[in-house]
Amino acid sequence: MIAYKQVKSILNKHKKRDNWFLDEYSINPYEGCGFNCTYCYVHGSKYGENLAEKIVIKKDAAIILDKQLANRAKKNEYGFIAVGSATDAYMQVEEEIGLTRELLQVILKHRFPVFISTKSTLITRDLEFLKQIDESAILPIDLKQTLNRGVIISFSISTLDEQLAKQLEPGAPLPLQRLEALKQCVENNFLCGVNAMPLLPFISDTDQELEKIIAAAKEYGAKYILTSGLTLFGKGERDSKQLYFRFLRTHYPHLLEKYEMMYGSVYYPSWKYQNDLKRKTELYCKKYQIKNSIL
């Protein structure tokens, strides 16, 4: 089901620049998401259990963004805009509606740089257009000195296991298809990487599986890989924590006890887990000569 919603604002300004993705702004062309990933933190919000059930298109989004970016540009407040932070800007509906492309045209007009994280191969539709943004964007002075690129593209991959991906990410292209799209972007001279997030405890965060993901990222041309653990929110039936535990009970019942110990009273892994994951990532990144940060 597709619905339309009138909004007053489309551009979100962060309090500070994101350390990982370098963005200072974010925009979400849509509410809801056709990929409907079980672990998505948006589950439990107003969008409900099935994110694909209702996709909301923001009316007049391009007109509103034009005004907001004009104001920011006038003040010389340039910074990376994350396109799709609470939805995938290139999910299925984008092929028909084209709202993401409209917003990118506005971004190009005002010469803002963009960071795009996606699971979709549809982004390859816009490569020629994104090249214009990459070449003309105005960056903050410090990033111009260290990065000097107007577009950063990351493909999200939580597992390379095709069957597992079908279970957890039912609407998304398969991991191999994402890697092929990554390769195409690299061949078109974009700065590209992999967001291996979230990695799934005891499933895709093992030494063997983590190494596979990092090796694949390098093989397909990624310049960096970012990793993080799984966060699980909420106590309601529609929250990601409950949905993911339901998945575990069906497919990985032997891991339930470990997950209860890990997430019983918290939403995120322990600092020890996060530090261990960081250490393993650094080890394999060194082995395969790929960065574990964008800069």
Is the residue at 208 inside a domain?
A: yes
C-alpha span between 109 and 82 (Å, rounded): 17
- Any idea what the CATH number is for the domain that residue 191 is in? 3.20.20.70
Share of the chain above pLDDT 70, in %: 96
How buried is 33 (Cβ within 10 angstroms: 0-12 exposed, 13-18 middle, 19+ buried)? buried
pLDDT in tens, 150-175: 999 999 999 999 999 999 999 999 99
Is the residue at 88 inside a domain?
A: yes
DSSP-derived letter for residue 160 is S
Is the residue at 295 inside a domain?
A: no
Is the residue at 264 inside a domain?
A: yes
pLDDT of residue 69: 98
C-alpha span between 255 and 245 (Å, rounded): 10
Is the residue at 273 inside a domain?
A: yes
When divided into structural domains, the chain yields a total of: 1
pLDDT of residue 44: 59
Domain around 149:
2-288
Is the residue at 9 inside a domain?
A: yes
pLDDT of residue 234: 82
Is the residue at 160 inside a domain?
A: yes
| Helix pair 256-263, 240-251: axis angle to 10 deg | 160
Q: Which residues in the chain come in under a pLDDT of 70?
A: 43-53
Q: Buried (b) or exposed (e) across 143-169, using 16+ Cβ within 10 A?
A: beeebebbbbbbbbbbbbbeebbeebb
pLDDT of residue 47: 47
* CA distances, 80 to each of 30, 43, 187, 221, 239 (Å): 19, 26, 23, 23, 30
Is the residue at 293 inside a domain?
A: no
